[in-house]
Structure 1
Amino acid sequence: MAWWSDLVDEQPEFAARVRARFAVRKHGTMATLRRDGAPRISGTEFEFGADQLRLGSMAGALKAQDLRRDPRVSLHCPTEDAPPDDPAAWDGDAKISGIAHEEPPGENGSHRFRIELTEVVLTRVGDPPDHLVIESWHPGRGLRRRERR
């Protein structure tokens, strides 16, 4: 199992850049699987603690029911557009995939989950801005960098 603290310990600079992308706004996006296997996209808030990445939802929310049934989840940072006159100034975006582990309920029966990491990806425009730089981290494999033109 790999947790947020494992990524921070192994790749602190990469983890800081990923966390910064998730911090640009309060709400990001998460993908879960419905009962019939179809994807569900939901807005959510993320909490990056010193050791864990957590998310929550209101009591009885469908996204929480999805995670209780099938804990696989993908998270996407809030999206920001590149300046129209300077695409290289785009700070990129981040995605995290993992397994949601339910924690004791919060106030008013709200759901809380800590996320076991299975993949963390950071994508940005390269320099010069004619390609993408894709950095991905997987537990046991570490950090890899690819360029895509």
Structure 2
Amino acid sequence: MASWAEVEADAPEFAAAVRRLLDAHRHKTLATLRRDGSPRISGTEAQFRDGELWFGGMWLSRKALDLRRDPRFALHSASVDPDDDDPAAWPGDAKLSGRVEEITDPARVSEVNKDAPPGPSHLFRADITEVVLTKVGSPADHLLIQWWREGKGLRVFKRT
């Protein structure tokens, strides 16, 4: 699976656009899998550091327990409504998916999670399998979908 640095190296302009969307708002939506296999969505914060994508969770939170049991995840940027007068000005939305690795080394957790409140918490590093960027095309009569997959690179689709 790919680190964020590998996505950036393979498709730099695409990765920069995705990162702008993910960095534009503090909160994102994280999808995990419950014990019974059904989906759970949770709010989360994520950060890029040292060529990796990181996110955490409160100690023994449901999302952290989900990820410990099944490391598959999907992360979605915050969405804003398109402007009815200029839909092509909509910045789009970004989503990515893959698997996480929980980091438990206290020194590494402290290094990455400098702003975390005191006390125990969870820290996960994302291994990325796919990234999608969806925008309104120009002219605003179609969607432009950019899809990066590990080992397959970037593909672009037009959806009318």
Normalised to the residue count of structure 1, the TM-score between the two structures is 0.97
* Alignment pair present for 1:114 and 2:96: no
The aligned residue for residue 96 of structure 1 is 96
**Cα distance in 2 for residues equivalent to 1:29 and 1:79:** 10
What is the DSSP-based 3-state SS (H/G/I as helix, E as strand, rest coil) of the residue aligned with 1:78? coil
The aligned residue for residue 123 of structure 1 is 134
The aligned residue for residue 137 of structure 1 is 148
Shift of 1:10: 1.2
The aligned residue for residue 38 of structure 1 is 38
* Alignment pair present for 1:86 and 2:86: yes
The aligned residue for residue 61 of structure 1 is 61
Shift of 1:12: 1.1
Shift of 1:35: 0.4
- The amino acid across from 2:124 in the alignment is F
Runs of 5+ unmatched residues, structure 1 = none
- Runs of 4 or more, structure 1, over 4 Å off, are none
Q: How many residues align?
A: 149
**Cα distance in 1 for residues equivalent to 2:51 and 2:139:** 36
- The amino acid across from 1:55 in the alignment is F
The aligned residue for residue 157 of structure 2 is 146
The aligned residue for residue 23 of structure 1 is 23
Shift of 1:146: 0.3
Q: Deviations over 1:79-115 (max 9, x none)?
A: 1111121111101000000101100164511000000
What is the DSSP-based 3-state SS (H/G/I as helix, E as strand, rest coil) of the residue aligned with 2:144? strand
What is the DSSP-based 3-state SS (H/G/I as helix, E as strand, rest coil) of the residue aligned with 1:108? coil
**Aligned Cα root-mean-square deviation (Å):** 1.0
Shift of 1:50: 3.4
**Cα distance in 1 for residues equivalent to 2:69 and 2:147:** 27
**Cα distance in 1 for residues equivalent to 2:80 and 2:24:** 8
- The amino acid across from 1:95 in the alignment is K
Identity percentage over the alignment? Answer: 53
The aligned residue for residue 70 of structure 1 is 70
